[in-house]
Amino acid sequence: MKFNYPIWRPLLILALVAMCGGAFAQSTYDYNAEPNRFWINLNAGVGGTNSFDESTVPFAYGGIHDMEQIGVTDEWKRCHLQFLGTRNKTKYFDVDGSNSAYSAKLEFLYSCLNPSIKRWHFWSGVSTNNIFELKQLEDLQNAAVTISLFHELSAEERVECDFAYDKADATHPWLTAFFNLSLPLYTVGVRPGYAYVVDPLNNIFDMLLGANVPMFKFFPGCTTDIGFNLNLRNGNRIGLSYTWDYLTTGKKGAYRYDNAFHTVKLSFMFKIQ
C-alpha cells in the first residue's frame, strides 16, 4: 500500500532550512528578557490509528495516518496562549475506508513556578477543543458516510526541563525536554446511532446528521505528548515528540466509540516577535 504526502514533506524541508539558516550566526536569544514572545507553529507527523465504533463496524480496526498542524503561540510574563488547527487523515487496513478528523484547539497556561527558577518550568491551565470527524467506510454501502462532532473542555498540565546549556553563555539552553498532559473534563457531541441507514432521497444534511444521537461524558479520554525542543539562538525551536491522543464515549454495546492516534511529530516554531 502506497501513501503519498505531496504537501507537508517539502514544507518541512523548507521550514528546516529557514529555521536553521542564520541560527548560529545571530546573537544568543534570552528567553526571559523579552516581555512578549510570539511564534508561528508548523507541525507534521505520522503514526498509527486504533478504532472501535460499534455503531458502524462491530470489531476493532486500525490504520495509518498523517497529521498536519498550523497555529500560533503567544507568551507574555508568566502566561502562555496557543491556538492549533489540526488535520488527521487515516487510511484503514481492516476495512475499506478512511477517516478525516479536523480540530481547533485553544489553550491558556500559567507558569506556576517562580521565574527565578531557570531550569524547571511547570505550566497549568485549561483548553477548549472542537472536533469534526468524517468517516468513509465503503464496505458499509448505504451506511458508508458518517459525521461525528465533539466539544471538549480540558485541564492542561505541562512540565519542562532545560539542559545542554551553552558553555559560552550559561543562560541559553540548547535543549528542553517536556511532557504535556491534557485531561478532558467533559465532552458533548453527536454520534451516529446504531444500525442507521442512509436514505439517498433525503437532502445531504439528513443523510449525514439525521441518524445522529447526542452524547455527554465526563473524562472521555486523555492526550499525552512527550519529547524535546532544540532551542536555536534566534529564538526559533525545532521539536520531536510522541503523542497519544485517545477519545472514548465510554458507552457499552451499540454506542461504544473509541479512537486513539499514536503520532511521531516534528514541530517548528518560527519566532516573529
Q: Is the pLDDT of residue 237 over 70?
A: yes
| Integer Cα distance of 43 and 103 in angstroms | 14
Q: Partners of 161 in the beta sheet?
A: 120, 177
**3-class state of residue 80 by DSSP:** strand
Instruction: Tell me if 244 sits within 8 A of 221, measured CB to CB.
Output: no
Share of the chain above pLDDT 90, in %: 50
Q: Is the pLDDT of residue 209 over 70?
A: no
| Integer Cα distance of 128 and 7 in angstroms | 28
Q: Is the pLDDT of residue 37 over 70?
A: yes
Q: What is the pLDDT of residue 84?
A: 97
Q: Is the pLDDT of residue 28 over 80?
A: no
Owner of C-alpha cell 545542554: 164
Geometric angle at alpha carbon 227, from 225 and 230, rounded to 5° = 135
Q: Is the pLDDT of residue 251 over 90?
A: no
Q: What is the pLDDT of residue 1?
A: 40
Confidence of residue 59 (pLDDT cuts 50, 70, 90): confident
Instruction: Taking residues 35-46, report their average pLDDT.
Output: 92
| Integer Cα distance of 24 and 13 in angstroms | 18
| Integer Cα distance of 173 and 11 in angstroms | 27
Q: What is the pLDDT of residue 40?
A: 96
Confidence of residue 3 (pLDDT cuts 50, 70, 90): very low
**Cell numbers describing residue 271:** 519566532
Confidence of residue 60 (pLDDT cuts 50, 70, 90): confident
Q: Which residue has the higher pLDDT, 24 or 218?
A: 218
Geometric angle at alpha carbon 101, from 99 and 103, rounded to 5° = 175
Q: Is the pLDDT of residue 16 over 60?
A: no
Q: What is the pLDDT of residue 25?
A: 36
Q: Is the pLDDT of residue 23 over 70?
A: no
Q: Supply the pTM of this predicted model.
A: 0.81
Instruction: Tell me if 38 sits within 8 A of 73, measured CB to CB.
Output: yes
For 134-190, the pLDDT digits (tens) are 888 877 665 677 788 999 999 999 999 999 888 887 888 999 999 999 999 999 988
Q: What is the pLDDT of residue 256?
A: 80
| Integer Cα distance of 65 and 47 in angstroms | 6
Distance of CA 271 to CAs 33, 89, 93, Å? 14, 28, 40
Q: What is the enclosing helix (H) or strand (E) of 108? A: strand 97-111
| Integer Cα distance of 230 and 264 in angstroms | 16
| Integer Cα distance of 46 and 24 in angstroms | 29
